[in-house]
A and B are shown apart, each in its own frame.
Chain A
Amino acid sequence: MMKLLDISKKYGEITHKYPFEPYKVCENFRGKPAYIFDLCIGCAACGIACPSNAITVQLNDNQSKLIWEFDCGRCIFCGRCDEVCPTGAIKLSEEFELAVKFDKSALIQRGELDVQYCTTCKKPFSAKRLVKYSFDCLSKANVSEKRLEEAKEYLCMCPTCKKTATVATFTSGKEMVIE
């Protein structure tokens, strides 16, 4: 009995004081993915990477906004969204106090992005920010002025119209020089 007391004296009190004192999680802890709306370009890479579809990126009902939505209740904290995000808009934070009472909608984070309409068929196909970001990236990637002008035109087209336009340029006998 005395031996047991000696052992407990040796090791002291190890219980965390947690609810009464803040608890510091260890380094590289994968907590709740924090969403920075100002950095998000709506490229939907996170939505595609998410294995449990906790992140969804889709157009709203009247097709005027692109809705990025994250449901923390379904998130499995794998960090794949963090891995694929090109701008660092979604990063796993150290936040672990996630419990909610009664209302599950408190777990949801969402952002509404303006959509880009296709110049040819006037259908929404992407976020405005993504088009602008792609153009900015391209303009800093050592491409010639002529290519850049072409890209500006093609970036504002939806994939179907882009395909048609490319085929049209080829078949109309226009010279295409790739520099």
Chain B
Amino acid sequence: MKTYQVPQEIQDANTLEQKLELLKHIGRSFSVFRIDCGSCNGCEIEIFAAITPLWDPERFGFKLVANPRHADILLCTGPVTRQMYYPLLRAYEATPDPKIVVALGACGVSGGIFYDAYSVLSGIDKIIPVDAYIPGCPPHPASIIYGLTTALGVMEQKLQKVSFEHDGDLPPLVEDSVLGNTLFERDLLVQAKKLMSYVFGRKLFDKYISALTQSGNTKDAKATKISITEAMRVEDDPRYAECMGILHNEIYTQYVSCEEEDKIELHRVKWGAK
């Protein structure tokens, strides 16, 4: 559904040739007008982070202006709520031709998480023609600077459409389990992720498995206890050390027959004694 027809005189004044002509003459003075079309303000915070001295986009002449009539570039954020539909059109029509429209953030590019909500038009490009898209939720200040410099032709676009069409039918190899039962690895990874989230949980999993294999015989509860206790002792981060002990007590004992004394007593182990 096309909600807004761009008037013919604006279309004629905004062809690609005219935009390139504008870029030639404009030199190092780009005025950016920022329109918030119902965004959550995350993108706004990042825009203002991007214009701080830490990033200093005035090196290339970027400057935020307070009026669309002064602007060359429209920086639109948000999924375009019904309330912001007409203000967006007013700002678009008020900007002098030729104008460059940049859609910022996941919401601006395609509606983001609100893409199928009833109250939004999901994306700037559903309403007005957009020249550059900056995805991110919110985009990093460096992404914003990259996007704006790409829009102006200073930097090259890096992303291209990627499509894999040939299925070689090569499923990934399932690694052999250290205990001869992949359910052990499965339970271990689930518990590790539960204890320390997915990023650190995977690291914890790798640390635990390497400590377990160092014991020589993984099915010997006595040897693995010594090996894990040693790994906990030399571990710098107390979180990993404690969680390795918890994993050993909760998961390993389910798969290998252990007695009560084979469990690691967490409060007796001194952490970080390297």
Contacts and interface: CB of A to CB of B under 8 A. Distances in A.
A45 to B, nearest CB: 13
B142 A76 contact: no
Nearest to B180: A142
Interface in B165-194: 165, 167-174, 176-177, 180-183, 193
Contacts of A96: 136, 139-140, 142-143, 146
A100 interface: yes
B111 A101 contact: no
Given A19-B149, A104-B125, A113 B157 contact: no
Contacts of B131: 101-102
Given A19-B154, A107-B135, A140-B176, A76 B113 contact: yes
Dominant SS at the B interface?
loop
A20 to B, nearest CB: 9
Given A99-B150, A100-B157, A129 B169 contact: yes
B109 A101 contact: no
A167 interface: no
A110 B135 contact: no
Nearest to B52: A15
A87 B159 contact: no
B132 interface: yes
Interface residues of B, number: 60
B244 to A, nearest CB: 21
Interface string B81-111: 0000000000000000000000000100111
B179 to A, nearest CB: 9
Interface in A157-179: none
A106 B160 contact: yes
Nearest to B55: A16
A152 interface: no
Contacts of B182: 137, 140-141
A179 to B, nearest CB: 14
Interface string A32-64: 000101110100000000011100000000000
B146 A111 contact: no
A39 B172 CA distance: 5
Contacts of A87: 172
A140 B174 contact: yes
Most chain B beta-carbon neighbours within 10 Å: one of A51, A77, A97, A136:
A97
A77 B216 CA distance: 41
Interface string A129-143: 110110011001110
Contacts of A19: 60, 145-146, 149, 154-155
A111 B109 CA distance: 22
A99 B146 CA distance: 7
Contacts of A98: 134-136, 139, 143, 146-147, 158-159
Given A25-B140, A41-B171, A112 B164 contact: yes
A133 B171 contact: yes
B199 interface: yes
Contacts of A77: 136-137
A65 B142 CA distance: 38
B106 A76 contact: yes
A14 interface: yes
A37 B163 CA distance: 9
Contacts of B151: 99, 101
B133 interface: yes
Contacts of A108: 161-162
B133 A14 contact: no
B220 interface: no
A107 B109 contact: yes
A141 B170 CA distance: 21
A108 B54 CA distance: 32
A71 B123 CA distance: 14
7 contacts: A75-B106, A76-B112, A76-B113, A96-B146, A107-B133, A108-B161, A136-B171
Closest 6 CB pairs of A and B: A99-B147, A73-B109, A76-B137, A37-B164, A83-B198, A111-B164
